[in-house]
Amino acid sequence: MKTIEQLLESKNIRVTAMRLLIYKFLAKKKVAVTLSDIENAFAKADRTTLYRTIKTFEEKVIVHQIDDGTGITKYALCEEGCNCDIKNDLHLHFHCNNCNETTCLTDHKIPQIKVPDGFVSENVNLVVKGICDKCSG
Amino acid sequence: MKTIEQLLESKNIRVTAMRLLIYKFLAKKKVAVTLSDIENAFAKADRTTLYRTIKTFEEKVIVHQIDDGTGITKYALCEEGCNCDIKNDLHLHFHCNNCNETTCLTDHKIPQIKVPDGFVSENVNLVVKGICDKCSG
DNA sequence: TAGTAAGTGCAATGGAAGTGCATTTGTTAT
DNA sequence: ATAACAAATGCACTTCCATTGCACTTACTA
Ligand SMILES: [Mn+2]
Ligand SMILES: [Mn+2]
Ligand SMILES: [Zn+2]
Ligand SMILES: [Zn+2]
């Protein structure tokens, strides 16, 4: 089990207070977060810093981006050893129409999708919408 | 085979010049279009009119919206007898990473997706990304 | 410890989406 | 046909998220 510091160093980005805080925030959350979620959590920090931090995390494959169709991009921590950099996430995402939260279903892999002749599939984005476990209870 | 006029009337919306033009534009295109594609095609018309026309078409299930992950919503004509109103499209969409065009694969239906216990699936958005037939040739 | 590269904060921009209201156009009833 | 009404259009404005330029500060490294 790596520390966050070790993780950041292994990705060749500097360890800063802000990055540690944001990483911990993401780790604590069990659902994907928007930039404004982060802004609300760190009201004292500048938006741009938070924005660029998350972009750096994305670039270094510490988080992955999720487009759940709400029009607002969300982010969630990557699994260790994921290959978010090659393909998009192989796991699927669930967006709750009730609480509006988006969850990584990390152990639900996306099935093989057939495309017509001439088309080459490189990656697949799959978002299931419905009612999440917390809301359906 | 219905005329466009008959189609619009059957959906209880008025036949106007603009609507006919936009419908024909969509029919001519074999790929999904953005609002600004339409704006470019009808530079003389007001943006709002185009916007509201496409929203009306969407509401009346003449077009369906496609979120291909580019951040810009696209639209494409519905098939006759589709049920875009109930679930999202059952067919899948292909986004070309080369030409940036999005195609309806109308006869490629989305497979059944399993979700964990407690989650209820209502609809599914599936976008395959890669190289389209025109670009892979 | 000086120099350099990276990170942060502030201000401004841009694009897409959406709304209020006045005007025009089409439909319907007299 | 014409008045009355409803729907469609055009213009102006707004909001929200994403993104960038530049100055300043902080962290690494020779
Ligand atoms: Mn995920
Ligand atoms: Mn489609
Ligand atoms: Zn929920
Ligand atoms: Zn292509």
* Distance to chain A for B81, nearest Cα, Å: 23
Query: Does the reported pTM lie above 0.85?
Result: yes
Residue at the smallest CA–C1' distance to nucleotide D17: A72
Q: Which domain holds residue B12?
A: 4-136
pLDDT by residue (tens digit) across A111-126?
A: 899 999 999 999 899 9
Q: Read off the pLDDT band of A80 (50, 70, 90).
A: confident
Distance CA B83, CA B88 (A): 8
The whole-number pLDDT of residue B81 equals: 80
B-chain residues near A114 (CB < 8 A): 108
Is residue A105 scored above 80 in pLDDT? yes
Of residues A67, A113, A131, nearest to B128 (C-beta):
A113
pLDDT by residue (tens digit) across A19-76?
A: 999 999 999 998 999 999 999 999 999 999 999 999 999 999 999 999 999 999 999 9
What is the crossing angle of helices B47-59 and B17-28, to 10°?
70
Is residue A84 scored above 90 in pLDDT? no
Q: What is the DSSP code (8-state) at residue A111?
A: P
Is residue A88 scored above 70 in pLDDT? no
Distance CA B88, CA B86 (A): 7
- Find out whether B78 is annotated in a ligand binding site: no
List chain B residues with pLDDT less than 50.
none
Q: Could you tell me the distance, in angstroms and rounded to a whole number, from the CA of residue B76 to the centre of ligand 2?
A: 6
The whole-number pLDDT of residue A87 equals: 64
Of residues B117, B124, B130, nearest to A119 (C-beta):
B130
Please give the tally of structural domains in chain B: 1
Q: What is the CATH classification number for the domain harbouring B116?
A: 1.10.10.10
User: What backbone phi and psi angles, to 5 degrees, belong to B2?
Assistant: -70, 150
Is there a contact between A118 and B97 if contact means CB atoms under 8 Å apart?
no
